[in-house]
Amino acid sequence: MLIKRQQQILERLQTQGAISFDEMRSLFSVSTATAYRDAKMLVKSGLALKTRGGVKLSPPAAVGVPPASKCFFCGAPLSDRAPFVIQLQDGSQRRACCPRCGLMALRLSPVATAVASDFLYGRMVNVCQATFLVGSSVDLCCVPSVLCFSNEADARRFQTSFGGQVYDLEQSIAQLYRLMALPGSRPAA
């Protein structure tokens, strides 16, 4: 389970790409040993890669798993095009083939954090800060299609050409439950 400081380090990695141990110590007023432990947890979780003097954000291919692996939600093969990684509170990870499966799974377990690949740029994005395009004409694998974007402006530009609806995290999950008529969904307003 990632603690708040580790989640903040991950958010910094998502915006800057890398962070040094010195920066961690300075930003969070922690010891060198604590900075190393925080980095080790992110590396162990597959969310970061160790570098000389710090850590950097794992590229989507590094966050993914071997091609023979399957999505824990639908059983489809995983690809490195749209990885979705859920870190559970018990420290274990779940990997989904696409944002649709990842979003559907977020309500099933106690989640510590989740990241998904930005559809346009391939950078890993904290799903709490992401914008999702639901139901566009671009089908990655599962239906309805869900694409992840690091910002709303990119999602809206993409929507113009490929359709669908733009939502934040909670709205996306609610919309998927409605579209799939799953228990726990709220009636449409």
pLDDT tens figures, 88-103: 887 778 888 899 999 9
| Rounded Cα–Cα distance for residues 129 and 54 (Å) | 24
Which pLDDT does position 188 carry in this prediction?
39
8 and 93 inside one domain = no
Of the residues 58, 76, 95, the one at which a domain ends: 58
- Asked whether residue 68 carries a pLDDT value surpassing 50, the answer given is no
Determine, yes or no, domain membership for 89: yes
Determine, yes or no, domain membership for 166: yes
Average pLDDT over residues 142-159: 94
Determine, yes or no, domain membership for 113: yes
Q: What kind and span of H or E run contains 165?
A: strand 165-167
33 and 97 inside one domain = no
Determine, yes or no, domain membership for 25: yes
21: domain CATH number is 1.10.10.10
Determine, yes or no, domain membership for 184: no
User: Residue 46, by phi and psi: left (phi above 0), alpha (psi -120 to 50) or beta?
Assistant: left
Q: Which residues contact 18 (CB under 8 A, 6 or more apart)?
A: 51, 54, 55, 56, 57
92 and 158 inside one domain = yes
24 near 35, Cβ under 8 Å?
yes
- Predicted TM-score (pTM) of this structure: 0.64
* Alpha carbon 54 to its chain's center: 22
- The total of structural domains in the chain comes to 2
pLDDT in tens, 28-67: 999 989 999 988 888 877 778 888 888 888 765 444 444 4
CA neighbor of 134 nearest in space, from 105, 107, 98 = 98
Q: Which residues contact 123 (CB under 8 A, 6 or more apart)?
A: 14, 57, 60, 117, 150
Please provide residue 14's backbone torsions phi and psi, each rounded to the nearest 5 degrees: -70, -30
| Rounded Cα–Cα distance for residues 13 and 133 (Å) | 24
Average pLDDT over residues 146-172: 96
96 and 14 inside one domain = no
Which pLDDT does position 46 carry in this prediction?
74
Please provide residue 75's backbone torsions phi and psi, each rounded to the nearest 5 degrees: 85, 0
Domain of 130, in residue numbers: 84-179
Determine, yes or no, domain membership for 76: no
| C-alpha distance from residue 18 to each of 47, 110, 131, 146, 149 (Å) | 12, 28, 23, 28, 20
Which pLDDT does position 59 carry in this prediction?
65
Determine, yes or no, domain membership for 64: no
